[in-house]
Structures are given as C-alpha cells and as structure tokens.
Amino acid sequence: MITSDLNQVKTALINGDIIALPTETVYGLAANIYLDSALEKVFKLKKRPSYNPLIVHISNAGILEQIAKNIPAKARELANVFWPGPLTLVLEKQDQIPNRITAGKSTVAVRVPNHPIALQLLKSLNFPLAAPSANPFGSLSPTSAEHVALYFKEEINFILDGGPCFCGLESTIIGFENDKPILYRHGAISIEEIEKIIGPIKIKNKNSKNPSAPGMLTRHYAPKTQIQINDDISLALAQNPDKKIGVLSFRKNKKIKTEIHQEVLSISGDLNEASKNLYAALHRLDQMNLDLIISSFFPEKGLGKTINDRLKRAIK
C-alpha cells in the first residue's frame, strides 16, 4: 500500500517488517540492519544473491563511528561536502555490523540520504536502515512509489511515498584501499566532482562473483526489453524494419519518424536533467511491449559517464 503515514511505517520497521523508502537517488527496500529476519526478507523479496552487500543508511554523519572505524581523512572530507547526498562510502566496519549486511566482508557501505522523508524516518528510529533498491534483482531501479508497486504489488505492506526521486540515479560509491580512494560505482555525483575534493581516483573493475561493494555487477539496472546501443539511430532503425521499437534520446532526434516512440531525456541537452529522467523513461518504454529499445551513448563527461555505465550494464 502506498502511504504517507510515517508512524505506520516506523511501527512496521520496529516490528521487523520491511518497507519501501524514498530517497533522492531511487526507492529502497528498507529494513532494520540489526534484525536478521528482516534482512532475510529483503534478500528473498529482491531475489538478491547473498554475496552482494547492502548499503547502510544513517540519519547524519555524526553517528558514522557507530557503523565504521579507522575512517580515512579523505572519506571524512567527502562526507563533509556531500552528506546528506548521493555518496556511499565503503569503510572498515564496526564489529557489531552484521555479516549479512556486508556479505561477510570486513567493510561496510554507508551513506546519509538527502531526502526529507527518509531523514525524518531515520531520525525517529534507534537503528539504521539497510535499503537496496526496491526492485527485483537486476531490474530497472524505481524512481517513484508507483514503480515499486508495479514490481511488488501485494508483496510489501507499505510503500512510503516521497514523490519522484530528484536525482534519479543510484549513489556514487567510493572505497579506500591502503587509504587510496577507489571508485566502485559511477553514480549521481560525477567522478569529476569527487576528484575536485580529494584528487585522482582509481576506477575498480566490475565483478559479478565477488563484488567489493554494492552495484558492481556486470549486468544490472536492466529493463525486460532488449536494449541496443548504436550511435547511428537511423541505421539501427533501418536494420530492424519489422520490430516495434522505442528510442531513448539525449536531445530530440528530429530524424526519427513520428510513429516511433521517442523518450527525450533533456530538451536542452543538460546531463543532470537527463540522468534524473533516465529510469522513468526506461520504465515507460519497458511497459510498451516493445521488441527493442535503441539508444546512443551520451557525452562521456560528468553524469554522462553514469548514464553510459547504466546503458552498458542493461545490454543482455
């Protein structure tokens, strides 16, 4: 049920239930990090493999030491600049953090979400929340309460409605190896913004068998409909004359015939606007019973890198 009743949702979490939670990035399936039975519900509902770690959501940076220890100075710099916000830090975990959260690793992923409803809920609880995206494992991330409802229907009791997500992409994930910063996942904060604060960052390769952090699997964030990436959209359309096709465009492509459905992510060519609209557009295309979604790559700068990362991982 979609609701705005925080007290109802809070009671459900305290009683060991799971709920869907709005954040600025995407909607998450939230559970008490210290209740193994609640965490098990998250993994089971998502069909998420146990080797894939979860992100811990806290209400403010002041309680980070309850979750992590031996925190690098550069991690604190990033938290000071970007929290609350779409930045996840992977840090050495405190002993009390359950292994189910971390997939048995010595590190934990943690962030402070920048959404007023999420923060209000977190501040009212005496435990942090694990909140992976509220979608079946590998599927498109949800950016509205309605997306969550379409995925889970009667399988979840409460979907806390916070409106459309205003970032629309998952958090950027930064870890540290020998105190040197590592990018584990491109996200809603560009790597260029991160490097302005702490200098050059090494990019970690994706790993589908033993990921160092959430969001590192090679195939992820995918619609049911097949996606094809081709910088010559007209050629791609000509090569598929008998298929029902939708086009995902950065700006409006005037060469596309009007009978082809086109989702335009930013009329003005703004990558921030495009990233916010990406998943919602893909959800719309995915509900049209198309044979194929065609897109070209986006400019390889800023959040264009994140959009391209998601498109690459959506290819079957």
Q: Which of 288, 284, 244, 281 is nearest to 265 (CA)?
A: 281
Tell me what pLDDT residue 160 has: 98
| Identity of residue 23 | T
Tokens of 116: 């007023």
**Cβ atoms 214, 262 nearer than 8 A:** no
Number of H helices, E strands in the chain: 10, 16
Q: Which of 282, 300, 290 is nearest to 141 (CA)?
A: 282
Distance from CA of residue 19 to its chain's centroid?
A: 17
Q: Which of 244, 247, 251 is nearest to 295 (CA)?
A: 247
| Residue-by-residue pLDDT tens, the chain, 316 positions | 999 999 999 999 999 999 999 999 999 999 999 999 999 999 999 999 999 999 999 999 999 999 999 999 999 999 999 999 999 999 999 999 999 999 999 999 999 999 999 999 999 999 999 999 999 999 999 999 999 999 998 899 999 999 999 999 999 999 999 989 999 999 999 999 999 999 999 998 776 677 888 888 878 889 999 999 999 999 999 999 999 999 999 999 888 887 899 999 999 999 999 999 999 999 999 999 999 999 999 999 999 999 999 999 998 7
Task: State the Cα angle at 226 between 224 and 229, rounded to 5°.
Answer: 135
Round to whole Å and give the CA distance between 111 and 173: 9
Three-class DSSP category at 225: coil
Q: For the chain, how big is the Rg over CA atoms in Å?
A: 19
For 218, phi and psi rounded to 5 degrees? -70, -35
Three-class DSSP category at 49: coil
**Cβ atoms 74, 176 nearer than 8 A:** yes
Domains defined along the chain, listed by start: 2-203 (3.90.870.10), 227-314 (3.40.50.11030)
**Cβ atoms 189, 85 nearer than 8 A:** yes
- C-alpha distances (whole Å) from 210 to each of 134, 205, 218, 242 are 22, 11, 11, 41
Tokens of 300: 């390889």
